[in-house]
Amino acid sequence: MAKKALIVEDDGNIAELLRLYLERDGFEVMQAADGGRGVDLARSFEPDIILLDIMLPVKDGWQVCREVREFSRAPIVMLTAKGETRDKVAGLEMGADDYITKPFEIKELLARVHAVLRRADGAPEDKPRRLEFDKLIINLDSYELVVNGVKVDTPPKEMELLFHLASAPNRVYTRNQLLDEVWGFDYFGDSRTVDVHVKRLREKLEGVSDQWRLKTVWGVGYKFEVGEA
């Protein structure tokens, strides 16, 4: 069965180019020219992946991302003319899975699309997907993070990073290892992506328990430390 892609882009030329190449690549494609229609199609079309512009009429890409994440875990690749780090960080924090700056090469974008889909499809179902520690539950089946008895809204990639670290307590991971194992070996970003996600996780987890912590190993990387803090 063909994968389904939703393009949310108000530039008709870019949208048509993306549609053409995605359909040639075997995707079933739907398009929306504004954010409101994008949210509606994300709900009704149930795409496997969403290509989402940031500068959109009706609702911008950040708002679309927030609303879509309330009912869908479909991977989101943000498309934008803005290259500033803060815009990239904003998209990642709201639940985007990747980010590409215009102008882009269509081959690179298609590579990112396939990489994101492979990561989304790659988790074996027979592996434990719920971890419990003192005052902490990480449930990757429902993508729920419960901290001190309270469910905390957490973007998918933050959940996956925390789950990965906590699945091997006290093991130190380099940033490159985390990019390989959480984002995928063909991720096009850089190690600052890991730092951004760890920072946001720390804001949710700092001081919750003295039995575990998310620790920086200076000059190496990060670990989920269990035991005496």
Among residues of the chain, what percentage have pLDDT more than 90? 51
Same domain as 147, residue 106: no
* CATH assignment of the domain containing 34: 3.40.50.2300
Task: With a cut of 90, say whether residue 226 has pLDDT above it.
Answer: yes
Last residue of a domain, one of 70, 104, 121: 121
Task: With a cut of 60, say whether residue 229 has pLDDT above it.
Answer: no
Task: With a cut of 90, say whether residue 123 has pLDDT above it.
Answer: no
Same domain as 9, residue 109: yes
DSSP 133: E
Last residue of a domain, one of 77, 92, 121: 121
- Side-chain half-sphere exposure of 14, counting CA atoms within 13 A: 19
- Give whole-number Cα distances, 112 to 50, 83, 90, 209, in Å: 12, 17, 19, 38
Same domain as 117, residue 210: no
Per-residue confidence at 176, pLDDT binned at 50, 70, 90? Answer: confident
**178 within 8 A of 164, measured Cβ to Cβ:** yes
| Mean pLDDT, range 64-68, rounded to an integer | 92
Give the residue numbers spanning the domain of 44.
4-121
Same domain as 116, residue 17: yes
Same domain as 102, residue 75: yes
- Side-chain half-sphere exposure of 227, counting CA atoms within 13 A: 6
| Mean pLDDT, range 66-85, rounded to an integer | 82
Same domain as 189, residue 94: no
Task: With a cut of 60, say whether residue 85 has pLDDT above it.
Answer: no
Instruction: Indicate the number of domains in the chain.
Output: 2
Last residue of a domain, one of 92, 121, 150: 121
Same domain as 160, residue 102: no
Same domain as 182, residue 154: yes
Please indicate, yes or no, whether the overall pTM of this predicted structure exceeds 0.85: no
Per-residue confidence at 82, pLDDT binned at 50, 70, 90? Answer: low
Task: With a cut of 70, say whether residue 187 has pLDDT above it.
Answer: no
Per-residue confidence at 92, pLDDT binned at 50, 70, 90? Answer: low
Same domain as 179, residue 88: no
Same domain as 116, residue 13: yes
* CATH assignment of the domain containing 139: 1.10.10.10
Tally Cβ neighbours within 10 Å of residue 124.
Answer: 6
Per-residue confidence at 95, pLDDT binned at 50, 70, 90? Answer: confident
Sign of CA dihedral 29, 158, 100, 36: positive
Kindly report which listed range (36-45, 174-183, 219-228) carries the lowest average pLDDT score: 174-183
Task: With a cut of 60, say whether residue 202 has pLDDT above it.
Answer: yes
